[in-house]
Amino acid sequence: MPKLHSKKYYLFLVILVAIFWGSAYPIVRYLVAGGVDPYLVVSMRIWLTFLFSAALLLFSRQGLHFPLYRKNFLPFFLMSLTGTIGFSFFMTYGLEFSTATKSSIVIGSNPILVVLFAHLFLRESLGLRKVLGVCVAIAGVFLAVGGGDFLSGRGLQFTRYDLILLAGAIFWAAHTLLSRHYGHALPYQEGLFWIFGLGAILALPLLIPRVHLLAELSAQQWFWLLFCGVVPGGICYFLWNRCLSVLGASTCSICASFMPASSGILAVLFLGEPLLWTQVAGTLLVIFGVLLGVIRSQLPVNYETGRSLSAEEARQEEK
């Protein structure tokens, strides 16, 4: 068993999160392609994740810190709006018309968006390594989505649904940056509860008119819907927020680059989706670009204490 607060332990957890998050794309694709209303999938995933977070908070026997929550309402509301409603809606709606492999590759470019947004809005330095990483990852996305047209010079086959998927990646990048800077305001179990509690309330207009559709779901559809809500939803969000608070956005983003490969393999095995060589090459370029862009980021906190590190301490911790 790894040490509870060791670096390897958290790296293992965040890689596991990326693999299971990758499973969400073929599962959601299976549900919406099978006729399940995409808005029902979005709202039920949010509600199932909220119920998981509520049970987790109850099990931890931690009280709610209402004064701290009221003080930080706006950032937590924005985290809910971007990470639950925005990301889930655009990802699910895009999957109704796209493939699970393509969608995971597009959204898998998210770590590069995190680096770009951190530079544009937070004035973080953007060195040559990060610039090259951005260029390589964007080229990978174009190759994966545009296919052979990217190499032949013909018009790229981007559709409005690919842009919807890209919007989902932008929302998730915004959520990651917000979580990185405001995630410490509350204990992470309580923070997850408030984020998905707000998301569940915002999802009610989508869920209430479609509650009757739940009776039409098959046992297999119910199983995969529950799996998506509890595993890629509740458990993975919980572990992601915990690892994000300890490792930081850049380090977690490196590990998240495993997601497109995981999703692509599962989509080929269980959905029978064709796997083009351009998609494989595009996935490898995205992963390489992510690694190139963020692999040498300094660590923000001490693994044992969670205390913020100075620049010198971060260099020592990295070693």
For residue 273, being part of any structural domain is answered with: yes
pLDDT at position 233 over 50? yes
Over pLDDT 70: what percentage of the chain? 73
Give residue 60's pLDDT: 79
Does some domain include residue 2?
Answer: no
Domain presence at residue 45: yes
Q: What is the pLDDT of residues 105-129, one digit of tens each?
A: 666 666 677 777 777 776 666 667 7
Q: Is residue 87 part of a domain?
A: yes
Answer yes or no: are the C-beta atoms of 51 and 168 closer than 8 Å.
no
187 assigned to some structural domain: yes
Higher pLDDT, 7 or 278: 278
pTM as predicted = 0.74
CA distance between the termini of the chain = 23
Query: Per residue, what are the HEC states of the chain?
Result: CCCCCCHHHHHHHHHHHHHHHHHHHHHHHHHHHCCCCHHHHHHHHHHHHHHHHHHHHHHHCCCCCHHHHHHCHHHHHHHHHHHHHHHHHHHHHHHCCCCHHHHHHHHCCHHHHHHHHHHHHHCCCCCHHHHHHHHHHHHHHHHHHHCHHHHHCCCCCCCHHHHHHHHHHHHHHHHHHHHHHHHHHCCHHHHHHHHHHHHHHHHHHHHHHHHHHHHHCCHHHHHHHHHHHHHHHHHHHHHHHHHHHHHCHHHHHHHHCCHHHHHHHHHHHHHCCCCCHHHHHHHHHHHHHHHHHHCCCCCCECCCCCCECCHHHHHHHHC
Residue 319 tokens read as 């070693």
Q: What is the pLDDT of residue 200?
A: 94
Beta carbons of 294 and 318 less than 8 angstroms apart: no
Cβ 240 vs Cβ 259: under 8 Å: no
Q: CB under 8 Å to 307, separation ≥6 — which residues?
A: 301
Can you tell me the mean pLDDT for 7-25?
Answer: 81
CA distance linking residue 29 with residue 267, whole number of Å: 9
Residues β-bridged to residue 308: 301
Our count of domains for the chain comes to 1
Range picked from 173-182, 206-215, 234-243 for highest mean pLDDT: 206-215
Query: 90: domain range?
Result: 7-318
Q: Hey, what are 209's tokens?
A: 């008119």
Domain assignment present for residue 1? The answer is no
| pLDDT tens per residue across span 37-52 | 988 998 998 999 999 9
Structure tokens at 21: 């998050």
CB burial class (10 A; 0-12, 13-18, 19+) of residue 3? exposed
Q: Of 149, 153, 152, 118, which Cα lies nearest the Cα of 133?
A: 118
What is the tens place of the pLDDT at every residue in 57-75?
Answer: 888 777 788 888 888 899 9
Please tell me the distance from the alpha carbon of residue 141 to that of residue 159, in angstroms, as a whole number. 14
Whether the per-residue pLDDT at 204 is higher than 90: the answer is: yes
